[in-house]
Chain A
Amino acid sequence: MKEITREENLVYRRTPLMTDATLSYCPGCGHGTIHRLIMEVVEEMGIQSETIGVAPVGCAVLAYDFMDVDFSQAAHGRAPAVATGIKRLWPDKFVFTYQGDGDLAAIGTAETIHACNRGENITIFFVNNGIYGMTGGQMAPTTLEGMKSSTSPYGRNNETMGPPYKITELIAQLSGTYYVTRQAVHKPGPVRKAKKAIRKALEIQKEKKGISFIEFVSNCNSGWKMTPNDSNIWMEEHMFPFYPMGDIKVDGKLVKG
Chain B
Amino acid sequence: MKELALMKGNEAIAEAAIRIGVDAYFGYPITPQSEVLEYLTLQRPEERTGMVILQAESEVAAINMVYGAAGTGKRAMTSSSSPGISLMQEGISYIAGAELPCLIVNVVRGGPGLGTIQPSQADYFQSTKGGGHGDYRLIVLAPASVQEMADYVELGFDLAFKYRNPVLILTDGLIGQMMEKVELPPQKARIEEFDQSWVITGKTPDRERNIITSLNLDPDLQYEHNLKLQEKYRSMNEDVMFERIGCDDAEFLLVAYGSSARICQKVVDIARGRGKKLGLLRPQTLFPFPTDEIARLSRQVKGIMSVELSAGQMVEDVKLAVNGKVPVYHYGMLGGKIHSPEDVLSAVEDKFIGGL
**Interfacial residues, chain A to chain B (CB-CB below 8 A):** 47-52, 54-55, 61-62, 64, 68-75, 78, 81-90, 93-94, 110-111, 114
Query: In this complex, what residue of B is CB-closest to A68?
Result: B209
List residues 16-72 of chain B with CB under 8 A from any CB of chain A.
23-24, 26, 52, 54, 56-58, 60-62, 64-72
Query: In this complex, what residue of B is CB-closest to A72?
Result: B212
In the complex, which of the residues A74, A89, A110 contacts B58, with contact meaning CB atoms closer than 8 Å? A110
Question: Chain A contacts of B69 at CB under 8 A?
Answer: 85-86, 88-89
User: Quick check: which of B197-205, B269-277, B293-301 contacts chain A, the rest being far away?
Assistant: B197-205
In the complex, which of the residues B26, B67, B211 contacts A70, with contact meaning CB atoms closer than 8 Å? B211
Shortest Cβ gap from B353 to chain A (Å): 53
* Contacting pair A88 B67 (CB below 8 A): no
Query: In this complex, what residue of B is CB-closest to A85?
Result: B68
CA distance A88 to B51 in the complex (A): 10
In the complex, which of the residues B26, B65, B209 contacts A69, with contact meaning CB atoms closer than 8 Å? B209
* Contacting pair B74 A89 (CB below 8 A): yes
Given A75-B94, A89-B23: A69 and B202 within 8 A (CB)? Answer: yes
* Contacting pair B90 A49 (CB below 8 A): no
* Contacting pair A50 B90 (CB below 8 A): no
CA distance A109 to B203 in the complex (A): 30
Question: Chain A contacts of B58 at CB under 8 A?
Answer: 110
User: Can you list, as one digit per residue, whether each of B186-219 has a CB less than 8 Å from chain A (1) or not (0)?
Assistant: 0000000000000011111100011111110100
Question: Chain B contacts of A81 at CB under 8 A?
Answer: 56, 60-62, 64-65, 67-68
* Contacting pair B57 A111 (CB below 8 A): yes
Shortest Cβ gap from A24 to chain B (Å): 9
Pick from B54, B60, B209 the residue with the most CB of A within 10 Å: B209
Shortest Cβ gap from B114 to chain A (Å): 20
Across the A-B interface, give the 6 residue pairs with the lowest CB-CB distance, nearest first: A85-B68, A81-B64, A82-B68, A85-B69, A85-B65, A73-B213
A to B contact number (C-beta, < 8 Å): 130
**Interfacial residues, chain B to chain A (CB-CB below 8 A):** 23-24, 26, 52, 54, 56-58, 60-62, 64-72, 74, 76, 90-91, 94, 98, 200-205, 209-215, 217
CA distance A64 to B94 in the complex (A): 17
* Contacting pair B211 A52 (CB below 8 A): no
In the assembled complex, 18 residue pairs joining A and B whose CB atoms fall closer than 8 Å, in A order, are: A49-B205, A52-B201, A62-B217, A71-B209, A71-B212, A72-B67, A72-B68, A73-B213, A78-B64, A78-B67, A81-B60, A81-B68, A82-B65, A85-B68, A88-B69, A89-B76, A110-B57, A114-B56
Question: Chain B contacts of A48 at CB under 8 A?
Answer: 202-203
Pick from A73, A78, A81 the residue with the most CB of B within 10 Å: A81
Query: In this complex, what residue of B is CB-closest to A113?
Result: B57
Pick from A54, A88, A90 the residue with the most CB of B within 10 Å: A88
CA distance A74 to B94 in the complex (A): 8
Question: Chain A contacts of B202 at CB under 8 A?
Answer: 47-52, 69-70, 93-94
CA distance A216 to B200 in the complex (A): 26
Given A49-B204, A78-B91, A90-B201: A73 and B68 within 8 A (CB)? Answer: no
In the complex, which of the residues A51, A55, A85, A94 contacts B67, with contact meaning CB atoms closer than 8 Å? A85
CA distance A86 to B65 in the complex (A): 7
CA distance A88 to B61 in the complex (A): 14
Question: Chain B contacts of A70 at CB under 8 A?
Answer: 200-203, 209-211
CA distance A62 to B218 in the complex (A): 13
Shortest Cβ gap from A119 to chain B (Å): 13
Pick from B26, B57, B202 the residue with the most CB of A within 10 Å: B202
CA distance A83 to B72 in the complex (A): 11
CA distance A156 to B69 in the complex (A): 39
Given A71-B200, A84-B54: A89 and B60 within 8 A (CB)? Answer: no
* Contacting pair A88 B65 (CB below 8 A): yes
Shortest Cβ gap from A160 to chain B (Å): 28
* Contacting pair B24 A75 (CB below 8 A): no
CA distance A162 to B337 in the complex (A): 45
Question: Chain B contacts of A69 at CB under 8 A?
Answer: 202-203, 209
Question: Chain B contacts of A78 at CB under 8 A?
Answer: 60-61, 64, 67, 91
Question: Chain A contacts of B64 at CB under 8 A?
Answer: 74-75, 78, 81-82, 85, 111
CA distance A93 to B200 in the complex (A): 10
Given A49-B202, A49-B204, A89-B69: A73 and B76 within 8 A (CB)? Answer: no
Shortest Cβ gap from B77 to chain A (Å): 11
* Contacting pair B200 A114 (CB below 8 A): no
Question: Chain B contacts of A93 at CB under 8 A?
Answer: 201-202
Query: In this complex, what residue of A is CB-closest to B69?
Result: A85
Question: Chain B contacts of A85 at CB under 8 A?
Answer: 24, 26, 64-72, 76
CA distance A83 to B65 in the complex (A): 7
Known contacts A94-B202, A111-B64; 9 further A-B pairs (Cβ under 8 A): A48-B203, A74-B68, A74-B94, A78-B60, A81-B68, A84-B54, A85-B67, A86-B69, A89-B74
Shortest Cβ gap from A202 to chain B (Å): 13
Given A72-B200, A90-B201: A114 and B61 within 8 A (CB)? Answer: yes
* Contacting pair B26 A64 (CB below 8 A): no
Query: In this complex, what residue of A is CB-closest to B53?
Result: A88
Shortest Cβ gap from B47 to chain A (Å): 16
